[in-house]
Structure 1
Amino acid sequence: MRYPLAKPSLGKAEADNVRDAMASGWISGTGPYVSAFERALEHRSGRASAIAVSSGTTGLELVLSALGVGPGDEVIVPALTFAAPAAAVLTTGAVPVLCDIDPVSWTLDPAAAAELLTPRTKAIVAVDLMGHPCDYEGLARLGVPVVEDAAQAHGATTASGRAGGFGIASVFSFHVNKAITTGEGGAVLTDDAELADRVRLLAHHGMREGDRYHHTVAGRNGRMTNLSAAVGVAQMERWDELVDGRAEARRLYDSRLEVRGFIPRPSEPWASPSCWLYCVTSEERDRVVARARLRGADVRAVWPALSDLPLYRGHAPHPCVHASAISRAAMWLPTWAHMSAEDVDAVVATLL
């Protein structure tokens, strides 16, 4: 594709850090860049503890396991999201319970979630969908531990705080299509010292630092490599540049599509969403996507609602009408930091 869906912004600082890590020979799942990356995340998010892990999905699995989620438990997840939150629940042996979304924020609807609560509800995974924060005040009133999936929300804020700072724990992704990337990778952030210790223990094969080969629990290798973290340290230093660069791409798209029949995704007045991938809806979504792809732009339909997939359909106690409707109308346009006006114009031309 001439215009890919996303591409990373990598420069001299990232390359220098990787060369330094390679020269030191310290390239595995521990090392000074991992620690530096974790400290940078704590500073940026305002959280007390950050644990760098191998992916955002791994982060969700570790948090749920650390919270004691397991067989017989239920975890509420939104019906419109990438499948990772629901899959993470299944890997613990628990049951994902799919909940419909709010039609404005496209995030988990607290009122709909309240109707799904049972004595078996152990947690809620709230996804800051496409950079829009959830209604965390509304979710907190449900009295169930909330895990914030901020994978797509680098730089998003509300009047109450920054994405990555909500819930008992939050999870970032640093996949290559994210505003801040380590190639693959993620992080768990929390203010709960006991939970942080448990996550770190589970991510390090159930071993505590300084007590090698003494396994106190059945853990896993969920660690981020020092090479990935080397990229991440440089990316964190460029946080504002990279987040603002995608916001500028959104502004350019808005100015060109507002009169062409495409509707940008809505947002609540209390939120300042970040731009992960620019998203619009169209009544002719599938035809537009096919046309754009033939013309060289990697325009994509958003994920189908999980409640419409055979694997998860039985996990939706109530119809998820908003999730289904939005999933059939929304599409992503190529988005990256430092997109030029010419790039945006060229992508828009493929849609028409």
Structure 2
Amino acid sequence: MTTLVPLSRPSLGPREQAYVQDALASGWVSGTGPYVERFEAALAERLCRSHVVAVSSGTTALELTLAALGVGPGDEVIVPALTFAAPAAAVLTVGATPVLCDVSPADWTLDPVAAGELITTHTRAVIAVDVLGHPCDYPALARLGLPVIEDAAQAHGAAVGDAPAGSFGLASVFSFHVNKAVTSGEGGCVATDDAELAARVRLLAHHGMTPQRPYVHEVAGRNGRMTNLTAALGLAQVERWEELVAARRRVGERYTAHADGLGFGRRPVRPGVRASCWLHTVATDPGTRERLVRLGRASGVDVRGIWPALPELALYRDRAPRPWPVAAAVSRSCAWLPTSADLTDEEIDRVVHAVLRPAASGDPAPGPAVR
């Protein structure tokens, strides 16, 4: 079956094309160039941060931040049990141990109370993921007394009061993968108000050498740089930030208007939080979620079950010292619907009529379910 409505697609226009063509014409196509600097400056202003370092991916941003903090073998980092695997994988990559913690039923983000019970003498940091575009309870996490890294990869445009997602914690990281509201194809960034930390991240991302002393490697770094071409695309998207975020929010609101009437649940939102719409998520029961996925496959609509809880994966099975019932329940009962800034009303209605309505009514769906 041909996919007629993909899970996500980028919204690209004349500005993106013009900036990328300009970067190509200039000859600056690698990890240095003026678009990288402009991209970092635009993000720093948007995120209310003093320093931004553009890097090759959101996962690289996590790895570099952990390395810059000196996290390594023998250390532990608390990570939510409900998230894409990148935060836990980044902890393993630097040689430390991810400790998986359940999420709160109030918002599906890292539970501060449960996290506090997991702290040991080896705990060095907390990675707090703004799961499905909902910022974590950062005041409560700050009281744990540990460095907090905000993973805002899914939270472009979210906020707590007037404070945007990406402005919390000692450092925050973003992904600009193609399925994000603001994309550079691949790419990410580290944002912080700590000048020393930003300099360390930049040093590690540039092979451990500074522009002032090329080929003099102060530390064993890596190539984590963002290219000028990638930054050109990313800058055009950052300049359209409000438009792109609002367009996804509109898609989510239209889905919600239909889903509410069909008995589907919503992601919970804490008071005072403005969550963003990354991939619109519906909550149901495991059986109905399976029907949603099957109906989507049969009708050319890319509906997917959300990630399994990390302790369900063999790689992380022994990394959860305490029970994780909320993460388990959410991961087994929620599904993503196609979400893009330029998704049309007709495409949304196709998803509703081909997938949501028959799944809610219990109509059988052919074929095996695929997560």
Residue identity matched to 1:206: G
SS at match of 2:315: coil
Task: Find 2:147's aligned residue among 142, 145, 148.
Answer: 145
Q: What CA deviation, in whole Å up to 9, does each residue of 1:74-109 have, x standing for no partner?
A: 000000000000000001100000000001211000
Instruction: Give distance in 1, aligned partners of 2:106 and 2:203.
Output: 39
- The aligned runs of 1:1-352 (5 Å cut-off) are 1-159=3-161, 161-283=163-285, 284-351=288-355, 352=358
Moved over 2 A (4+): none
Q: Which moved more, 1:262-271 or 1:31-40?
A: 262-271
Q: TM-score, normalised by structure 1?
A: 0.99
What is the CA deviation profile of residues 112-148 of structure 1, one whole-angstrom value per residue up to 9, with x for unaligned ones? 0000000110000000001000000000000000000
> CA shift at 1:309, angstroms?
1.1
Question: In structure 2, how many angstroms separate the alpha carbons of the residues matched to 1:134 and 1:270?
Answer: 12
Where 2:173 maps in the other structure, the secondary structure is strand
**In structure 1, how many angstroms separate the alpha carbons of the residues matched to 2:157 and 2:124?**
29
Displacement of 1:160 in angstroms is: 6.0
SS across alignment from 2:177: coil
What letter is aligned with 1:57? T
What is the percentage of aligned positions where both structures have the same residue?
61
CA distance in 2, matches of 1:223, 1:155: 24
Partners of 2:139 and 2:60 lie apart in 1 by: 26
Per the alignment, residue 364 of structure 2 pairs with none
Deviation at 1:338, TM superposition (A): 2.9
Please tell me the residue identity of whatever aligns with 2:344.
Answer: S
Match of 1:311, SS state, is: helix
Counterpart-to-counterpart distance in 2, 1:257 and 1:160:
29
Corresponding pairs, count:
352
The whole-number CA distance in structure 2 between the counterparts of 1:294 and 1:221 is 43
TM-superposed CA distance for 1:257, in Å, is 1.1
Once residues 270 and 136 of structure 1 are traced to their aligned partners in structure 2, the CA distance between those partners, rounded to angstroms, is: 13
Tell me, what secondary structure is at the counterpart of 1:328?
helix
Name the CA distance, whole Å, in 2 between partners of 1:209 and 1:49.
17
Following the alignment from structure 1 to structure 2, what is the Cα–Cα distance between the partners of residues 186 and 195? 17
Cα distance per residue 1:25-72 (max 9 Å; x no partner): 110001000000000000000100000000000000000000000000
Could you tell me how far apart the structure 2 residues matched to 1:58 and 1:350 are?
38
Displacement of 1:339 in angstroms is: 2.2
Q: Distance in 2 between matches of 1:140 and 1:147?
A: 11
What's the C-alpha RMSD, in Å, of the aligned pairs? Answer: 0.7
Take 2:210 and 2:179, find their aligned partners in 1: how far apart are those partners?
A: 33
Deviation of 1:195 after TM superposition, in Å, equals: 0.2
What is the alpha-carbon distance in structure 2 between the residues aligned to residue 268 and residue 159 of structure 1? 11
Q: Structure 2: how far apart are the matches of 1:38 and 1:140?
A: 26
Per the TM alignment, residue 291 of structure 1 is displaced from its structure 2 partner at its CA by 1.2
For the residues of structure 2 that align with 1:159 and 1:282, how far apart are their CA atoms?
29
Distance 2:15 2:330 in 1: 40
Shift of 1:152: 0.4
Greater Cα shift, 153-162 or 82-91: 153-162
Q: Distance in 1 between matches of 2:162 and 2:117?
A: 25
1:240-295 Cα deviation digits (max 9, x unpaired)? 00000000001101111111121121211121100000000122111221112211
Q: Structure 2 counterpart of 1:51, which letter?
A: V
* Distance of aligned partners of 1:259 and 1:5 in 2 relative to their CA distance in 1, 3 Å threshold: same
Q: Tell me the CA shift for residue 341 of structure 1.
A: 1.8
1:159 shift after superposition: 2.2
Q: What's the TM-score, normalizing by structure 2?
A: 0.94
- The whole-number CA distance in structure 1 between the counterparts of 2:342 and 2:23 is 28
